[in-house]
Chains A and B, each alone.
Chain A
Amino acid sequence: MIRVDLTILVAITLAICHTASASAEPASSRQAELMYLLKHDCGSCHGMRLEGGLGPALNPQQLQPLSIETLSMTILHGRPGTPMPPWKPFLSQEEAWWLASQLKQGIQP
C-alpha cells in the first residue's frame, strides 16, 4: 500500500517538476548547442546516434524504466565508479532536465 502511495506521490512530484521546468526550457539557440553537445560529446561514449558505445544506448526503450528526474540526476552528477562523468560544470538543472526529456521522447541528434 505504502509503495503505491509513494509511486503516486513521485508521479505527482514529477508532473509538477516537469511543468515547472517546461517553463524554464532553454532558449532555442542554447537548445541547438545542447543537441550538438549530445551528438558529439555524449556521442563519443554513447554513439553519435545514441545507439550505444562504451556507455549504453540512450533510446526510449532502454530508458523506459528510468524517470526524467533520475536521468537528469545521472547527467548532472554522473555515475561514480563508471566512466559516466558529471556534467554539472557545463549544464544547468533545467538544461539537464531538458536533455533527459529529449532522451525519453527519443531523438536523433
Chain B
Amino acid sequence: MKSLLLILLIALNGLAHGACLTRGTGDMGIIVERADGSVLVVDTSAHKVLFRVEGLGDLSHASAVFSRDERYAYVFGRDGGLSKIDILCGTLDKRVIQGGNSIGGAISQDGKLIAVSNYVPGGVKVFSAADLSLIADIPATATAKGKGSKTVGLVDTSGQRFVFALYDTGEIWILDMKQPDKPALTKFTNIGRLPYDGLITPDGRYYISGLFGEDGLALLDLWHPEKRIRRILDHYGKGKKQLPVYKMPHLEGWAVAGNQTFLPAVGHHEVLVVNTSDWKESGRIAVHGQPIFVIARPDGRQLWVNFAFPDNDTIQVIDSETLKIIKTLKPGKGTLHMEFTPRGEEVWISVRDKDEIQIYDTENLTLKTRFKATKPSGIFFTNRAHQTGL
C-alpha cells in the first residue's frame, strides 16, 4: 500500500510539473550532471530520479552542501555560481554569481551561513543561507603577480568557524564568523608549498592540508591553534620517483576506521595508512592507480578507492582490518565519485563516460542496479547536512 502510494505520488508529480513533494528528505540526495549544468534529485530508497533541475552553469568539479533541515542543496559551480535548490519542489530557488571561479564551499555550524572559496579572484565570500545575500568578503593574500591567491580546502568547524588554505602563498586561515559583521581571521603562514586541498576530521578538531610543492602534510589542531602548524608524514610523497599526477587527489571524506585513517598518496599507486594517535604512517596499500578519493563505508570496515586518469575506469575495495584488496570493480571510464547511503548498505557511483549511475551492494560487492544520468560527477546525499566538514 505504502509503495503504491509512493509510486502514485511520483507519477502525479511527473504529471503536475512543478508540484512539490510532501515527504521526508532523509533518503534523498542530488547528482551533479557536470556538462549540462543540471542536477538530478534522487530518492535513495526507491532508486529513483525525482526531478531534474537545470540552469546551474558550469558544474565541472561542482560540490554541494545541505541545509540543516535537509530541504535545500547549495551547489558550488565552477563558474562562480552559487545555487540554492529546493529538493522537495525540484526548483532552483535562487542563484547568484558570487565570484569568477569557485571550487567549493561549506555551511556554518548553525546553518545560517554559506562560505564559498574562489580561485579567481582568490578569497572566500560568506552568504546568508536564507537568501544568498553577501555577508562578508575576505580577499586572499596577493601573489607576486598581483592576483589574490587561490583558496582551496574550505571546510566548516565548530564555533561558526571556517578553515581554508591559500594555494599560491602557502597559508592556512581560520575565519571566525561568530559576529557576522566582524569576521575575524587567524592566519598561519609558511605552512608549506602549494597546499592543494584540505580536510577536517569528523569531530572538527584537526585540519589537514595536502601540499603539492613538497613532502608531508600540514596539520592544525583547532583545539590548540596556539600550537601553530605541525608537519606530519614527512615521507608523504617521498621515496620512489614521483609519478606525474593527472588529477589532483581529494582530501575529502575522512576515511577513518578505529584509530587508523587512510589517505590517497600523491603521485603514487598507494593508499597511506596513518595512525591518528601520533600521526605517523603505519602502512601503505598498493593499489591499481593514483587514488583520487579514499572513502570509508560508514561502519569503517571497507575503504572504496577510485583513481586518476588513465585508470579512472576502476574501483578497488579494501578491507580496513586486513588492509587487503577484496575486490576490483570496473564500473567504466570516468568513474568519478562515490557516495554511501547514510548507513552504508549501498554505494552510488557515477560513471561519466557511460552516462550512468551504478548502485552497488556493499555486502556482496555486486552491482544492484543502474540508471541513466548525463555525464554525472558528484553525488551528495542529505545526511551530509549533519556532518561537520561535509
Write the residues of chain A forming the contact surface with B, with a CB cutoff of 8 angstroms: 39-41, 43-45, 47-49, 51-54, 57, 78, 81-83, 85-86, 90
Q: Binding site of B, secondary structure by majority: helix, strand, loop or mixed?
A: loop
Is A40's CB under 8 angstroms from B61's CB?
Answer: no
Is B245's CB under 8 angstroms from A85's CB?
Answer: yes
Is B310's CB under 8 angstroms from A48's CB?
Answer: no
CA distance A104 to B352 in the complex (A): 28
B78's partner among A47, A78, A83, A90 (CB-CB below 8 A) is: A47
Is A44's CB under 8 angstroms from B245's CB?
Answer: no
Q: Binding site of A, secondary structure by majority: helix, strand, loop or mixed?
A: loop
Is B248's CB under 8 angstroms from A51's CB?
Answer: no
Closest to A41 in B: B309
Q: What are 13 A-B contacts defined by CB distance under 8 Å?
A: A44-B248, A48-B34, A49-B60, A49-B78, A51-B58, A51-B79, A51-B101, A52-B119, A53-B101, A53-B103, A54-B152, A85-B245, A86-B244
What chain A residues lie within 8 Å of B152 (beta carbons)?
A: 54
Closest to B59 in A: A48
Of the listed residues B35, B58, B60, B78, the one surrounded by the most CB atoms of chain A closer than 10 A to its CB is: B60
For residue B141, give the distance in angstroms from its CB to the closest CB of chain A. 17
CA distance A52 to B168 in the complex (A): 14
CA distance A39 to B310 in the complex (A): 15
What chain A residues lie within 8 Å of B310 (beta carbons)?
A: 90
What chain B residues lie within 8 Å of A78 (beta carbons)?
A: 244
Closest to B310 in A: A90
Is A85's CB under 8 angstroms from B167's CB?
Answer: no
For residue A107, give the distance in angstroms from its CB to the closest CB of chain B. 15
Is A54's CB under 8 angstroms from B196's CB?
Answer: yes
Q: Any chain A CB within 8 A of the CB of B213?
A: yes
